[in-house]
Amino acid sequence: MKFATLASASLGALCASSVVAAIDPLTIKGSKWFNSKTGEQFYFKGIAYQPRTGLSGNPDPLADMVGCKRDVAVFKDLGINSIRVYDVDYTKSHDECMKLLEDAGIYLLLDMPSPQYSINRAEPHWDHDTMSHWQAKVDAFSKYPNLVAWIAGNEVANDVETTPSAAFVKAAIRDMKAYLKTKKLTTPVGYADNDDPKIRMNLINFFNCGDEGSRADFYGINTYRWCGDETNFKTSGYEDITKNMTSYTIPSLLTEYGCNLVRPRTFSDVKSLYGTDMGSTFSGGIMYEYTEEDNEYGIVKVSFGDSKVEKNSDYDNFKKALAAVKPQGVKMDSYKASGKDSVCPAASSVWHVKSDVLPPTPSQARCQCMIDSLGCTFKSDKLSTAEGKLVGEVVGNICGATSCDEISVDTAKGMYGDFSACSSLQRSAWA
């Protein structure tokens, strides 16, 4: 049985602080989330929040106070209790915005990766540089009591050919959970898949098998199957999704939903998600998304630096759908977690991972020791695109002529070289 309090600050920090949090901490017990103070089951009534219009560079909505003040007022009107944010700049201050969200009773699910520091599905890798940036994000946000969950990957493996990337995401979950533990933090770390029918069951089982230190703490599904009022619980495939998760031993939720093929969207799937169809299996979901961008999923139009909000018909429909549902969960004291952890999927033609062996934890000392032992190396820590391409070709020729096992990876066989977790430049220097 899993029973962990989701604290966003260490015990020492909590004891030292005289500030009382305006939001209740959440707790995971078995496959459900609970409010640790009231004992009521908790359901995420959330929305994806990553405004991009009017911005240059990587967006950080939690550091934009004009936008934060504007949007928190809208969140209250919508009746949501959570947001999912994909990208932030951890070097900026987020105190004011996070406090506004806390006072509004809104929890944050935050993705660990960023565009610059993420696991590439085509050429997956987990090294110290990426890990250190994720750790810095943890350090920056763990002080906030409404930081409720981390997401270590979003649709990284999205087809059969990219399944090797799942091994690296799970290694990242293992290492980030270990890092959180050193900080005396228990904030859960999860994964969000893309609901691909060929690989979804392997992913679902993979992230909930093996030792507890490497398993995901919760599992998210991004699905866009329910399109319009002509679709229902059965024809949308939501029934199949629910059956897949019924005996799952960790919490599951829809980390993205909201098909836009039929607009205006009426969000008829909300009734099933929070009702008798799915409410006993899923912990709610995160509707995609808040702002209208080029992909046309938004319910409002906003622009960076502007306090104006323009709502569309989807806004009223989503608000109405949320207001109509009142999920009836179980009490934490009376709930008994059951079931067994998943069985790891075997390597196959549709699953290119030896599931019981993960990539090694990145070690800066190991990689530096290797570099120090070389007779020659690169003068610069960074290469231009042209230089990188040339080096890649040279390394390919070298490793085609002789063994490069010490820097090589074969996820299907569970083989990871001693220096496979070093940076690409360090591995190239070794070759």
Active site residues: 155, 256
- Is the separation of the CB atoms in 240 and 278 below 8 Å? no
| Planar angle of CA 354, 420, 127, nearest 5 degrees | 100
**Tokens read off for 279:** 């409410």
**Tokens read off for 246:** 């019924």
Q: What is the DSSP string of 15-54?
A: HH--PPPSSPPEEEETTEEEETTT-BB--EEEEE----TT
Q: How far apart are CA 292 and CA 54, in angstroms?
A: 12
- How far is C-alpha 13 from the chain's CA centre? 26
In terms of phi and psi (left: phi > 0; alpha: psi -120 to 50; beta: otherwise), the region of 240 is alpha
> How many alpha carbons fall within 13 Å on the CB side of residue 76?
12
**Tokens read off for 177:** 């959970």
Collapsed DSSP state (helix, strand, coil) of residue 284: strand
Burial of 399 per CB tally in 10 Å (0-12, 13-18, 19+) = middle
- Is the separation of the CB atoms in 59 and 52 below 8 Å? yes
DSSP state of 256: E
Helical axes 128-141 vs 164-182, angle rounded to 10°: 50
Q: Which residues contact 395 (CB under 8 A, 6 or more apart)?
A: 404, 427, 428, 431
